[in-house]
Amino acid sequence: MITYKTAGVDKEEGYKSVGLIKDMVKRTYSKNVLTELGSFGALYELGKYDNPVLVSGTDGVGTKLKIAFALNKYDTIGIDCVAMCVNDILCHGAKPLFFLDYLACGKLDAEVAAQIVFGVTEGCMQSTAALVGGETAEMPGFYQPGEYDIAGFAVGVVEKAKVITGEKIQAGDTIIALPSSGLHSNGFSLVRRLITDLNVEFEGKPLGETLLTPTRIYVKPVLAVLEQFAINGMAHITGGGLYENVPRIIPDGLCAAIESSQIEVLPIFALLEKLGVAHEEMFGTFNMGVGFILVVNPAHVDDVMAVLREHGENPRVIGSITAGAEKICLS
């Protein structure tokens, strides 16, 4: 007699997966979470705000997953998934409240799923978000054996009077950069065309390990700054690099004049350029060592940088806002 399991969906493996992740998920909870894992919907008590605005974001990890498959290492890609979402909503001044994940595969392996969710919970802990729910979809024949996909959804909150859009950016403002940890989660389709041997040594360890370095999460240091200072604009530097992400926050008639000499380009990017990627293509594809930027009133620069350093960041001034028709100029 045919069963769901013989059709390719193993319910018992799904139950095992839930059992493995339950305690990990609970460690992300705050008193605002009103439901347990497994409820039909997640209830979250917003708390006291005068005029709250909810900010949402969704993203995935992209083909960086292919590196994880090749190395059989899954405990960091969940961090990437959270980071890509919470760093985006942070750009509007939002404090992450909760996170949901979607994990899809052809055949579920509970141990692998648990490793992935471990990374998600770690990312949630780094970003103050509660992992309130998710979906694990086992779809036989839809994915190659051993392959998974993951996407995430973050919701945060900010007082309406403190929403950041970039509209307050003015000529003379200073651009502060926060460093990336490496490639983060963008440009891997190009990376995989260039690098086929993940075991070659690079800076004292296999190159694949460097490629899997998780995306940095900027929530705690940036929220610490926002508690004390009004920031005029912020941008998460993802796919398309500085060229595509900085202009998203620059008002018409202004230009982000960035000095490339002030950017600390990480060795992994130097390697990729050496392997054949043109310099301009590098800056139009990768973050090049800049993971997040803040556009700040020049009178507050020293104090903002001091707060960032107190929270473990290594900020650098990389440019300023000038008048101009182009929204970014990299010199």
DSSP secondary structure of 117-178: HHHHHHHHHHHT-EEEEEEEEE-TTTS-TT-EEEEEEEEEEEEGGG---STT--TTPEEEEE
Strands (E), the chain: 52-60, 95-105, 130-138, 148-159, 174-179, 201-202, 205-206, 233-236, 254-258, 290-296, 316-323, 328-330
* The pLDDT value given to residue 12: 83
Could you tell me which of 97, 158, 105 has the C-alpha nearest to residue 131? 97
CA distance 190 to 235: 23
**Beta pairing class for 254-258 and 290-296:** unpaired
pLDDT bucket at 30, cuts 50 / 70 / 90: very high
* The pLDDT value given to residue 232: 97
CA distance 323 to 270: 32
| Average pLDDT, integer, range 42-60 | 96
Could you tell me which of 225, 259, 254 has the C-alpha nearest to residue 242? 259
* The pLDDT value given to residue 11: 80
pLDDT bucket at 9, cuts 50 / 70 / 90: confident
CA distance 195 to 275: 9
* The pLDDT value given to residue 43: 96
Please check the confidence at residue 7 and state whether its pLDDT lies above 80.
no
DSSP-derived letter for residue 213 is P
- Does 48 or 4 have the greater pLDDT score? 48
pLDDT tens-place string over residues 299-331: 999 999 999 999 999 999 999 999 998 999 888
| Residues 185, 311, 248, 122, CA torsion sign | positive
pLDDT tens-place string over residues 222-263: 999 999 999 999 999 999 999 999 999 999 999 999 999 999
* Domains by residue range for the chain, with CATH: 11-162 (3.30.1330.10), 174-330 (3.90.650.10)
Please check the confidence at residue 1 and state whether its pLDDT lies above 80.
no
pLDDT bucket at 178, cuts 50 / 70 / 90: very high
| Average pLDDT, integer, range 29-48 | 92
Please check the confidence at residue 6 and state whether its pLDDT lies above 80.
no
| Average pLDDT, integer, range 55-66 | 96
- Does 248 or 10 have the greater pLDDT score? 248
- Predicted model pTM: 0.95
| Average pLDDT, integer, range 40-52 | 94
Please check the confidence at residue 15 and state whether its pLDDT lies above 90.
no
* The pLDDT value given to residue 209: 95
Q: What is the mean pLDDT of the chain?
A: 94
